Chain A
Amino acid sequence: MADGQTSPMGLGQKAWYEIVLQTLKRNDVRLVPYVPDRVLTRLIKELHADPFFTTFPTAREEEAVGIVSGAWMGGMRGAVLMQTSGFATLANVLASLALPYQIPLIMFVSERGTLGEFNFGQSLVCRTMRPVLDSLAMEHHTATRIDEFEFIVDRSIKQAIATQAPVALILSPLLTGGKVFEK
C-alpha cells in the first residue's frame, strides 16, 4: 500500500495499472510512449514486459503526442503516459495537431500537485491542467475509484476513437496512492 501500487480493495481486486494494461489491450491500443512518473512506474514496467505493446520513453510529452498521432494515421492505436507537469507543456500541440486534425489522442495523466503534494512547482502547475482542458473543450475524466476505473478507461478509449477527439484520463492520488514526501 505504501507506494500506492496495490489495490485499495485488497486481494482479488485488480490493481489500477492492471486495468489500464488490460483495457488498452482489449481496445487494440498497442503503442505507448511515455515520459515517466513515480506513480506510473509499475504500469510502465508491466507494459515493457508484455510483447503486445510497443512502449518506450520520449524526451518530451509533445514528442510522444506526435508519435501516436502519426501512428494513428498509419493505422496503429496509441496512448501517451505523463504526469501533470508534462501535460502543462502540451497546449500548443493539442490546439495545432490533435484537435484541428481530429486525432483520437488518448492521454493518461498521473496527477501531481494535490492531496498531499510536497513540491511547490507541482502544486502550482497542477492548477493549469483542467482550465487548459476546459478552454479547449476537451473530454477529460478524473479517476478516483477503482470500481469505476475500467468503465471510465474503456468507454473513454472507445469514445475518443469513435468521435476522433482527444481525451485526458487523470489518475488521482485517490486511485493510485500518489507520490508522498517520504520517498
Chain B
Amino acid sequence: MSPTQTPARNTKVMNRFDLTSRLVAKLKNQEAIVGGIGNTNFDLWAAGHRPQNFYMLGSMGLAFPIALGVALAQPDRRVFALEGDGSLLMQLGCLSTIATLRPKNLTMVVMDNGIYQITGAQPTPAAASTDLMAVAVGCGLTNSSWAADEEDFERLVDQSLTASEPMLIGVRIDDKPGTGTTRRDPVQIRERFMLGLGVREAL
C-alpha cells in the first residue's frame, strides 16, 4: 500500500507526467504555467517546453504566489500553477490570499502523493490526516475539488479555462519520480518566460 492510499480520499491514483501532458495538450491560447520545485517542474519540462512555462529551482512553496503575480499582471491570460503537496504545506497561507483576491484567471493544481518523493519518499506530515481540498475550501477557495480520475481531471481543466473565479484541482498521484530534468539556467528560464508572455522582445 502506497502512502497515497489514505482513507480520506476516494480518488484514483494517477501519474504526474501523464496529467501534466494532458493539461499541456489542452492549452491553445498561450496560457502560462508555473511549475513548482522538483518533480513538478521536471514533468512540466518533460511534457515539452513552451515559451509560457516557468520552472522554479528553489523557493519551495512559491508556485502559487508566483502564478498569482502573473495572473494579476496579465488578467487576460489564463495562468496555471502546478504544485506538490509538500510544497503547498510550506505556504498554506497563500490559499487565503488567493481566495481574498479572487483572480478570475488562475487555475491551481496540487499533485498529491503524500510523500517528499525527491528526498527519499518520506511521508509528509499531512499524508495520513489532511485533506488539502478541504483546507482550500476552508480558506475560501470554494471551487476546489479532487479529480476522480484522468477524465475528471480533463473535465475540470476544461471548466477552469472559462471559469470566472480561481480554481484548485487536487490530483492523487503515484510515487514515481519526474520524467525529465529541467535545464537549470534561471536567467534563461526567466527571460524566455517573459518573451513568452509578450513582456520582452528578443535581443
Q: Which residues of A contact B (CB under 8 A)?
A: 31, 54, 56-60, 62-76, 78, 92-93, 95-97, 100-103
B155 at the interface (CB under 8 A from A): no
A-contact bits for B13-44, CB 8 A (1 contact / 0 none): 00000000000000000001010000000000
The answer to whether B100 touches A101, judged by C-beta atoms less than 8 angstroms apart, is no
User: Considering only CB atoms and an 8 Å cut-off, how many residues of chain B contact the other chain?
Assistant: 39
The answer to whether A73 touches B93, judged by C-beta atoms less than 8 angstroms apart, is no
The answer to whether A70 touches B68, judged by C-beta atoms less than 8 angstroms apart, is yes
Separation in Å of the B6 CB from the closest CB of chain A?
26
CA–CA, A73 and B58, complex, Å: 17
Interface pairs (20), CB distance under 8 Å = A59-B92, A60-B91, A66-B62, A66-B65, A66-B66, A66-B94, A67-B68, A70-B72, A70-B73, A72-B73, A73-B69, A73-B73, A75-B73, A75-B74, A75-B198, A76-B69, A78-B69, A93-B59, A97-B58, A100-B186
CA–CA, A92 and B62, complex, Å: 11
Separation in Å of the B123 CB from the closest CB of chain A?
23
CA–CA, A76 and B66, complex, Å: 12
CB < 8 Å neighbour of B69 from A59, A69, A100, A101:
A69
B137 at the interface (CB under 8 A from A): no
A-contact bits for B89-113, CB 8 A (1 contact / 0 none): 0011110110011000000000000
Separation in Å of the B199 CB from the closest CB of chain A?
4
The answer to whether A102 touches B73, judged by C-beta atoms less than 8 angstroms apart, is no
CB < 8 Å neighbour of A97 from B62, B73, B96:
B62
The answer to whether B190 touches A63, judged by C-beta atoms less than 8 angstroms apart, is no
